Amino acid sequence: MRILKTITDKDEALLLGAYLLTAGIDCRVEESRSGKFEVWGLEEDKLEDANHKIEIFYQEEDRTKFSGALEQAKQITEKIRQEQERAARNFVDARERYSVLSGPAPVTVIFIVICVALWALEAINENYILLFQKWLFIAAPGTDFMENILSGQVWRLITPSFLHATLAGNGLMGVLHILFNMLWMKDLGPIIERREYSLKLVILILITAVVSNFAQYYMVDYRFVGASGVVYGLLGYLWMRSKYDRRYGIRLNSGVVWFMLVWLVFGFISAGPVANYGHLFGLLSGGVFGFLNAKYANRR
């Protein structure tokens, strides 16, 4: 979104805005504090076309040729308003309607059960910690970079997302680690699974787990666990899907998005043992997947 043209005459600004709108370029006319009128382009990918239309507009000496655009623009604006009203009526409280308790969400439930079960085993017997470090970490202690994965143990790219900080080694933080991740999974997973389908959530979990785990491994080392990368991936997917596909019918609370982004930044500036690159690349991979799905849905 950026200013296409600043004009002193209100009628000229409205006429230009109407002409652009009828040409398929989403725009808005606003009065600035200085008393001038700004024509804003709302779609970045149409800015070049918008500038071309503006050149045509100002090359034409007889502006009366564009007078019909005003009435057409009113009709287009009214149609957009009606569509937005219908969309607003269709928006729901996603956390309530798509709650894991309000209907089937098998993939979400299975994911949570596996995470809690593995965490409970570590809490019951510390020997499981050593066993998981040897077989479920992205790399076994003492091995070279990618040695285990290249030898065929490809499950290691995913399994760290099912493990969490231990109660024995991390105390209260071990409880909070799995608690918060599972709460986010409970809220975000069913939205995707029930709004679309379970296979979509499986694909998204696999993509974000692989990308976030490998990023953390490559940028730091193998000593990390947690579903946070996947959780950030689900957030990124829903954020971008709802932003670029207005018919998706889901709108994330901006406060939730900002909280997660601030927490992401805080992780990088803090000295705590946080898988920051896993969070970042989980968010990016989920966001890209959501953006591509939105573009495909719009074309379809």
Residue labelled with tokens 């709650």: 99
Query: Residue 141 has what DSSP assignment?
Result: T
- Answer with the one of 75, 90, 105 that is the final residue of a domain: 90
Enumerate the H helices of 98-245 as residue ranges: 106-124, 127-135, 147-150, 167-170, 172-195, 198-219, 228-244
Q: What is the pLDDT of residues 51-63, one digit of tens each?
A: 888 888 888 767 6
Neighbouring CB atoms inside 10 A of 48's CB total: 9
Domain residue limits at 29? 2-90
Task: Please check whether residue 277 is in contact with residue 138, taking contact to mean a CB–CB distance below 8 angstroms.
Answer: no
The answer on 216 and 67 residing in a single domain is no
More confident site: 23 or 135: 135
The answer on 106 and 75 residing in a single domain is no
Task: Please check whether residue 204 is in contact with residue 289, taking contact to mean a CB–CB distance below 8 angstroms.
Answer: yes
The whole-number average pLDDT for the span 280-299 is 94
Q: Please name every residue paired with 27 in a beta bridge, in sequence order, or none if there are none.
A: 41
As a whole number, the mean pLDDT across the chain is 86
Please report which confidence band the pLDDT of residue 185 belongs to, taking 50, 70 and 90 as the band edges: very high
Q: Answer yes or no: pTM beyond 0.85.
A: no
Q: What is the pLDDT of residues 5-60, one digit of tens each?
A: 888 888 888 888 888 888 888 888 888 888 888 888 877 778 888 888 888 888 87
The pair of three-digit structure tokens given for residue 37, joined into one six-digit string: 């009128």
Structure confidence at residue 34 (pLDDT): 82
How far is it, in rounded angstroms, from Cα 71 to Cα 84? 20
Query: Residue 30 has what DSSP assignment?
Result: E
Please report which confidence band the pLDDT of residue 201 belongs to, taking 50, 70 and 90 as the band edges: very high
How far is it, in rounded angstroms, from Cα 8 to Cα 38? 9
Task: Please check whether residue 233 is in contact with residue 217, taking contact to mean a CB–CB distance below 8 angstroms.
Answer: no
The answer on 143 and 44 residing in a single domain is no
The answer on 106 and 51 residing in a single domain is no
Task: Please check whether residue 19 is in contact with residue 69, taking contact to mean a CB–CB distance below 8 angstroms.
Answer: yes
Share of the chain above pLDDT 90, in %: 47
Please report which confidence band the pLDDT of residue 264 belongs to, taking 50, 70 and 90 as the band edges: very high
C-alpha distances out from residue 6 to 3, 31, 36, 66, 180, Å: 7, 9, 7, 19, 49
- Answer with the one of 40, 68, 90 that is the final residue of a domain: 90
H or E segment to which residue 74 belongs: helix 68-90
**Least trusted range by pLDDT, from 98-102, 264-268, 289-293:** 98-102
Phi, psi values for residue 172, rounded to 5°: -60, -35
- Answer with the one of 32, 57, 90 that is the final residue of a domain: 90
Phi, psi values for residue 39, rounded to 5°: -100, 115
The pair of three-digit structure tokens given for residue 254, joined into one six-digit string: 């901006």
The pair of three-digit structure tokens given for residue 264, joined into one six-digit string: 């992401």
Phi, psi values for residue 82, rounded to 5°: -65, -40
Residue labelled with tokens 């995913």: 158
Task: Put the strands of the sheet holding 37-41 in their side by side order.
Answer: 2-7, 37-41, 27-31
More confident site: 272 or 290: 290
The pair of three-digit structure tokens given for residue 116, joined into one six-digit string: 């809690």
Structure confidence at residue 278 (pLDDT): 97
Q: What is the pLDDT of residues 146-181, one digit of tens each?
A: 999 999 999 999 999 999 988 666 677 878 999 999
Task: Please check whether residue 150 is in contact with residue 217, taking contact to mean a CB–CB distance below 8 angstroms.
Answer: no
The answer on 234 and 142 residing in a single domain is yes
The whole-number average pLDDT for the span 216-236 is 96
Question: Is 80 exceeded by the pLDDT of residue 86?
Answer: no
Task: Quote the number of domains for the chain.
Answer: 2
Structure confidence at residue 273 (pLDDT): 80
The whole-number average pLDDT for the span 78-99 is 59
The whole-number average pLDDT for the span 213-232 is 96
Type of residue found at 232? Y
Which CATH number goes with the domain that contains 6?
3.30.70.2350
Structure confidence at residue 40 (pLDDT): 84
Question: Is 60 exceeded by the pLDDT of residue 99?
Answer: no
The whole-number average pLDDT for the span 171-198 is 90
The answer on 50 and 199 residing in a single domain is no
Share of the chain above pLDDT 70, in %: 88
Question: Is 90 exceeded by the pLDDT of residue 141?
Answer: yes
The answer on 137 and 85 residing in a single domain is no
The answer on 99 and 73 residing in a single domain is no
